[in-house]
């Protein structure tokens, strides 16, 4: 017979766990958390590679040093996570051309200013074209003029790394513009174990609680006025009064979960409108280091005629001295392209870029790690990206419940979508909204009982 509980939470990433914590702390203890994979964390994911714990997903606490305390920084402090300040702004002073020359500072400064100005203008034009409340899906990109490889490298870092210079981003406004790299043996995910310690894990990170179930891939979701029923891939059935669905926007756009009856149009349209960013950190291990280290050298850029082609590099010497590791970040189309090819092919391309920058005598990488967020059917991308000119309507449609199904996840965070703190705060918010709804339902039933 199917197991029955008050609330089923689908997904044990930061948002699902944050929602569970709110419910349990407020007396709703019979929750069940169904997680498709065999671990918690979702897009927060540590893996050991070349003797170092690397973060395949979220790597930074973004938004530090501002007027408010980022709640994820707070969690990180409480769990004693080891973090390092990352100064992205230096990256542009380390742009290499294909013959290994570094572009002079003055030229870079000038180009940088121009690129920021043009990005700001472009954004203004887009807003004017669509107007708030208008249909942003019709906005047409102005034809971009031919950019030089150096301009492309700067454009890539400005847009694909969300520099606060271009548009006001709530994260930076509220929490500050600094970013801290998490480099801890226990992984970024340690803060989740710490957060869930009181209700799911003991202090050694051992699962204590049968409310969290791994390897439960939700495939069908029946919902009615009376409750929800969930079918998992392994043939289990779970029933509950309510559900919190924390799967990513990419999963919602895919056909992994069948809704019965189907989601209403306002919901499916909002889901379809939300962009999915693919962001891939490729890790490369070398026998020794051949790149410059020291202050201001953590990040460097490769200027290639193809935008985003192995552009953004980072060495790991600050966090893990002697690790001899480089990380190169690809996004979107480049990420998808690389996910579809063999790692040997990717290694060859990366070595090509490095040879251009540092000469033919550099050592071969001894190992490569290529995460595949796009092809992971439990993710289908790295994080959400709201339409540039989005309106309240859109945001509410993304997060509003459908009957007894409540939505959470980073993509439902109005101010902080895309980030770990967005997922965390969204989970808390959804948990609270559901508590309120359950309270109301209780009142309704007691009223109708009084009447009869
Ligand atoms: P998830 O973590 O995706 O949790 C959802 C869970 O649902 C997953 O565990 C999944 O397995 C499960 N699931 C999916 N489908 C089903 C199903 N059918 N049945 C059961 N379970 C299912 N943020 C930052 O703040 N800083 C960063 O530096 C940063 N960098 C990033 C880099 C990368 C490469 C990626 C991928 C993300 C990055 N992010 C970063 C974003 C951040 O990781 C996410 O915003 C956040 O972790 C999302 O949490 P979530 O709970 O919303 O979703």
Q: What is the DSSP string of 268-299?
A: HHHHHHSEEE-EEEEEEE-SS--S--STT-SE
Q: Is 184 in the pocket of ligand 1 (CB under 6 A)?
A: no
Structure tokens at 124: 């203004």
pLDDT at 88: 85
Q: Is 425 in the pocket of ligand 1 (CB under 6 A)?
A: no
pLDDT at 124: 83
- Say if residue 138's pLDDT is above 80: no
18/196 Cα distance (integer angstroms)? 8
191-218 burial, b for 16+ CB within 10 Å, e for fewer?
A: bbbbbbeebbbeeebeeeeebbbeebbb
Ligand 1, closest atom to CA 410? 52
Q: Is 94 in the pocket of ligand 1 (CB under 6 A)?
A: no
Q: Is 54 in the pocket of ligand 1 (CB under 6 A)?
A: no
pLDDT at 136: 44
Cβ proximity of 383 and 43 under 8 Å:
yes
Rounded distance from Cα 12 to ligand 1 centre (Å): 9
82/281 Cα distance (integer angstroms)? 20
Average pLDDT, the chain: 92
Rounded distance from Cα 217 to ligand 1 centre (Å): 15
- Rounded average pLDDT over 79-84: 96
Task: Give 13-41 pLDDT, tens digit per residue.
Answer: 999 999 999 999 999 999 999 999 999 99
Ligand 1, closest atom to CA 246? 5
Q: Is 407 in the pocket of ligand 1 (CB under 6 A)?
A: no
- Say if residue 262's pLDDT is above 70: yes
Q: Is 279 in the pocket of ligand 1 (CB under 6 A)?
A: yes
Rounded distance from Cα 212 to ligand 1 centre (Å): 17
- Say if residue 143's pLDDT is above 60: no
pLDDT at 140: 47
- Rounded average pLDDT over 297-303: 97
Task: Give 373-398 pLDDT, tens digit per residue.
Answer: 999 999 999 999 987 666 778 889 99
Ligand 1, closest atom to CA 16? 51
452/442 Cα distance (integer angstroms)? 16
Q: Which of 247, 271, 274, 421 has most ligand 1 atoms within 8 Å of CB, for mutation?
A: 247
Residue nearest to atom 46 of ligand 1 (CA): 420
Q: Is 57 in the pocket of ligand 1 (CB under 6 A)?
A: yes
Q: Is 409 in the pocket of ligand 1 (CB under 6 A)?
A: yes
Rounded distance from Cα 248 to ligand 1 centre (Å): 7
**What interface predicted TM-score (ipTM) does this complex get?**
0.99
Rounded distance from Cα 188 to ligand 1 centre (Å): 12
pTM for the full predicted model: 0.95
What is the percentage of the chain residues whose pLDDT exceeds 90?
Answer: 81
Q: How confident is the model at residue 51 (pLDDT cuts 50, 70, 90)?
A: very high
Structure tokens at 251: 């999963």
Q: Is 246 in the pocket of ligand 1 (CB under 6 A)?
A: yes
pLDDT at 452: 67
């Amino acid at each position: 017979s199917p197991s029955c509980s008050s609330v089923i939470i689908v997904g044990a990433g930061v948002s699902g766990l944050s929602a569970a914590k709110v419910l349990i702390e407020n007396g709703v203890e019979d929750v069940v958390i169904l997680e498709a994979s065999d671990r918690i964390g979702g897009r927060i994911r540590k893996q050991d590679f070349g003797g170092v714990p690397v973060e395949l997903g979220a790597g930074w606490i973004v938004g530090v040093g501002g007027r408010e305390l980022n709640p994820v920084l707070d969690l990180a402090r409480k769990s004693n996570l080891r973090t390092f300040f990352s100064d992205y702004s230096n990256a542009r002073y380390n742009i290499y051309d294909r013959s290994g020359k570094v572009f002079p500072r003055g030229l870079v400064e000038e180009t940088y200013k121009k690129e920021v100005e043009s990005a700001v203008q472009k954004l203004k034009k887009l807003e004017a074209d669509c107007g708030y409340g208008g249909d942003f899906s019709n906005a047409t990109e102005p034809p971009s003029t031919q950019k030089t490889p150096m301009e492309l490298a700067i454009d890539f870092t400005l847009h694909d790394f969300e520099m606060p210079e271009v548009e006001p981003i709530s994260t930076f406004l509220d929490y500050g513009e600094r970013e801290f790299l998490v480099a801890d043996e226990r992984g970024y995910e340690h803060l989740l174990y710490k957060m869930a310690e009181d209700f799911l894990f003991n202090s050694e990170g051992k699962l204590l609680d049968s409310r969290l179930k791994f390897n439960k891939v939700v495939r069908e979701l029946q919902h009615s006025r009376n409750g929800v029923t969930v079918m998992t891939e392994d043939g289990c059935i779970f029933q509950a009064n309510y559900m919190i669905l924390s799967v990513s926007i990419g999963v919602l756009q895919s056909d992994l979960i069948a809704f019965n009856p189907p989601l209403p149009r306002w919901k499916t349209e909002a889901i379809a409108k939300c962009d999915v960013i693919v962001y891939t950190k490729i890790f490369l291990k070398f026998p020794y280091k051949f790149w410059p280290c020291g202050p201001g050298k953590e990040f460097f850029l490769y200027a290639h005629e193809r935008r985003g082609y192995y552009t953004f590099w980072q060495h790991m010497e600050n966090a893990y001295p002697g690790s001899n590791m480089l990380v190169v970040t690809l996004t979107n189309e480049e990420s998808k392209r690389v996910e579809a090819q063999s790692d040997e092919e990717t290694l060859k391309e990366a070595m090509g870029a490095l040879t251009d920058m540092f000469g033919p005598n550099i050592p071969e990488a001894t190992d490569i790690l290529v995460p595949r967020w796009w092809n992971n059917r439990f993710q289908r991308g790295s994080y959400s990206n709201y339409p540039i000119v989005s309106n309240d309507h859109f945001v509410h449609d993304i997060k509003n419940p459908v009957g007894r199904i409540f939505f959470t996840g980073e993509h439902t965070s109005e101010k902080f979508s895309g980030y770990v703190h967005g997922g965390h705060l969204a989970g808390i918010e959804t948990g609270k909204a559901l508590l309120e709804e359950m309270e109301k339902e209780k009142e309704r039933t007691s009223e109708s009982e009084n009447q009869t």
